[in-house]
Every structure is written in structure tokens, then in C-alpha cells.
């Protein structure tokens, strides 16, 4: 199954009061494996960047001044998202900004039925624990040493690793049940996609041959005082 893990950076907390999205980062996963495909864009919010928000993500008015508006990139973004489930941390926040921007440029909103919230997943698996992305990365041993400021693509990459841990851990995708008869798996990168080929071997014959049975009988006959030959033995 294809899923998109995404994160946004904004000018504030509430699109209803005029805040806008200024960055989005999306990571493609198929069967809980990152394919290498991603989408990343900055947007000109057409409003000043509050100092408090700039301290969080480092995106200044000057940096964003020559960037396209969300409407300029909307079709490109929607093509990447497709109809896949969308995974985000505190997803209602990111969905709120995404749908506000889509409606602002005349596109239909993304259905909330596609939303997967990793905060909700983490709350079930770790009741009472801190649920911030930083805290959960520390809990699950995900390296975030390169994260100096928030960034949509970087945070989406961290979230993709966290999502794997929350939905089965690093063993997911091994397919132990499906591949019980598989000799080995060969993974190959082809551009941005991952192609996996299974090589199967025939089932091994487990019945002993006549020669093996004869050798076994000869070996057993040499055992002195065998327990199964003692009177009253249930063996």
C-alpha cells in the first residue's frame, strides 16, 4: 500500500486567522518502505513572517519573497499525493492548513478519511509518555542530531522512521509468513522506485530414505540399556 508521510511549516497556528503554509515536505512509502521519492516546496505566504514562527523554522520574509504561491504548485502537489493515505504528526493541524490552502486556490479539500495521526498511534502504544516528535524519536532511537530547526522535509523523514516503529518496527516488510518458502529476496533500486524479486526454492523432502532408516536402526541397536526397552517404559 502506498502512503504519504508529510509535514508542514507555517506562519502560525491558525489558518482561520490568516496564517499560511510556507513549506511542505512529503515522503512516499510503499508497504512501510521508503521508496526514495519525495515532494518538497516552499511557498510565499503573501504576508509577513512573525518573529516567533521564524525562530522555529528559520524561514524569513526575504527567503520566501521569490518563492511561488501555494496555488502555483497546488496541481503538482496533488499529483504527488494521489489518493494515498496521508500520515502526519498531530495530523489535524497539517490537514487544517493543507485544506485551507487548497480551498484558498479553488481546489477541493482532502478528505479527512485519509488522515493518519501518529500522535494518536503513539498515545496508544506509549500511554502517559511525551508525544512530541523529538521525544518519540529519542524513545525509539531515531537519530535527530542533524535537526537544528524545524523543516518540513526533514521532519517528514524523521516521522517516516517513527511511523515504521509505531506500526511494527524495523521487522515490518520481512514477510516472514508470506516468504516461508522463499530462498532469498533481491532488492534493486530503479530510479526512485524499489523493485523486489523473490526467488523461491522447492519444498525439501522430509521423509527419511530407506538407507537413512537402515542406518538409524543400526545405530539404535548399538545403544545399551536403552530406556525404551526397560520394563514398564512408556517410551
Q: Name the active-site residue from 100, 150, 206, 216.
A: 150
How many residues are present in the chain?
235
Q: Name the DSSP letter for residue 227.
A: G
Q: Which residues contact 13 (CB under 8 A, 6 or more apart)?
A: 19, 93
Whether 100 sits among the annotated catalytic residues: the reply is no
**Cα angle 83-185-161, degrees, rounded to a multiple of 5:** 50
Ramachandran angles phi, psi of 167, nearest 5° = -115, 25
Q: Which residue(s) pair with 164 in the sheet?
A: none
**Cα angle 1-153-67, degrees, rounded to a multiple of 5:** 120
By annotation, the residues acting in catalysis are 150
Amino acid at each position: 500500500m502506498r502512503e504519504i508521510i508529510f509535514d508542514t511549516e507555517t506562519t502560525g497556528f491558525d489558518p482561520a486567522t490568516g496564517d499560511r503554509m510556507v513549506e511542505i515536505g512529503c515522503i512516499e512509502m510503499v508497504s512501510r518502505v521508503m521508496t526514495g521519492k519525495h515532494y518538497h516546496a516552499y511557498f510565499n505566504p503573501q504576508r509577513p513572517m512573525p518573529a516567533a514562527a521564524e525562530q522555529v523554522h528559520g524561514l524569513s520574509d526575504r527567503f520566501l519573497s521569490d518563492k511561488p504561491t501555494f496555488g502555483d504548485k497546488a496541481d503538482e502537489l496533488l499529483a504527488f499525493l494521489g489518493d494515498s493515505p496521508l500520515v502526519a504528526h498531530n495530523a489535524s493541524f497539517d490537514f487544517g492548513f493543507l485544506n485551507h490552502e487548497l480551498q484558498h486556490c479553488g481546489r477541493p479539500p482532502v478528505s479527512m478519511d485519509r488522515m493518519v495521526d501518529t500522535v494518536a498511534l503513539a498515545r496508544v502504544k506509549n500511554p502517559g509518555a511525551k508525544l512530541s516528535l523529538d521525544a518519540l524519536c529519542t524513545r525509539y532511537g531515531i537519530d535527530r542530531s542533524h535537526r537544528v530547526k524545524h523543516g518540513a522535509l526533514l521532519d517528514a523523514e524523521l516521522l517516516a522512521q517513527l511511523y515504521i516503529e509505531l506500526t511494527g518496527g524495523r521487522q515490518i516488510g520481512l514477510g516472514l509468513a508470506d516468504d516461508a518458502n522463499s530462498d532469498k529476496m533481491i532488492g534493486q533500486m530503479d530510479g526512485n522506485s524499489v523493485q523486489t524479486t523473490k526467488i523461491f526454492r522447492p519444498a525439501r523432502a522430509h521423509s527419511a530414505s530407506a538407507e537413512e532408516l537402515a542406518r538409524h536402526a543400526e545405530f539404535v541397536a548399538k545403544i545399551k540399556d536403552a530406556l525404551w526397552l526397560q520394563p514398564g517404559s512408556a517410551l
